[in-house]
A and B are shown apart, each in its own frame.
Chain A
Amino acid sequence: MNKRTIYINNLLVRNTGITLFFITFLLVGCVENKDSSGLEYMPDMYRSPAVEPYVDYAEIRNKQNPELAKKLSAKTPPIGTIPYYGTDKELVELMLPYKRKPGIEFQQTHGLVDYVFSNKNEYELAANDKINPIHIDSTNSKEIFEEGKKIYSYMCAHCHGEKGDGNGPMVKSGAYTGVPAYADRKDLSNGQIFYSIYYGKGAMGAHGPLINKKEIWTLVHYIRKFQDPEYGKKDTSKVEQSNSTDVEIIKDTITVNNSM
């Protein structure tokens, strides 16, 4: 063999290595598919007959069960089911179904069409619900406000703003306009604030499905705090002692205390 053939032979030997290298890479590359969760060990341990939330049982490991599609995941509880809130009487009473009803359209549209369709305009009636069932005075206000701040920060703050000025990040980014500041709405009663959160009002959607009634009433306390920095600081004993003019302002609080 002359030099030329040796050269060609060398090329062949080198190329074989390179080709094998590329084939290996190709095989590895085939596995990387974002839509594939990769290989599973014993898939029957991943997909069991036990019904888990958010699993579509229409397709299990390529086996099709079209009759199960959209049926077995995230099921709604049977009609008439009520949650169990324990034996604490106050809590259970708090969690009883809300007495003010929205219009029939609200139910038909899953709350998309809000209070404006309410038959008797119950929003106006809610103005009479002056009492917040969660009792507040100087002894427990700190805890209630702490809890309220927590809920407020993830439920309300993105529109209404951390300070309740209606200037949250949603408004700043321009996605939403016309969020009122709480300080401008001092005329609203506790019941109306609750109603607005529960069923939604104007541009705001219904939040009853997102948070429970105890959390909403806690929020009502926290929102009152934006309107009046002194809110919740007073207690009954202090009121009895003082003769100052602010007694009238606190009158509402006193009736709350007596009624509880």
Chain B
Amino acid sequence: MIDLKKYEKLAALNLSKEEKEKIEKDLEEIINYFEMLKEVNTEGVEPYVYTKGAKLFLRKDVPGKTLDKKALEKNRKLFDGKFYKVKKIMGD
């Protein structure tokens, strides 16, 4: 049985009772299904990171265009043109 509460906390979720029951059951089943991977011998196998042919590159260090602040403002009332204003994060 996985400790769902712990993962809810990590993922900033707070499930309702019904949702918790449903997801808990599904998760058990899905995680059990993952056990199948134990059959595969992966000793000495490099984990997959990048797709074949992919070459990571660096852009030239020159300032480019940024998004229009007005467009960002439209999306969030917490944005005052310079900063995002949020509820306090410490103390009471």
Real binding pair: no
B interface residue numbers (CB < 8 A to A):
none
A interface residue numbers (CB < 8 A to B):
none
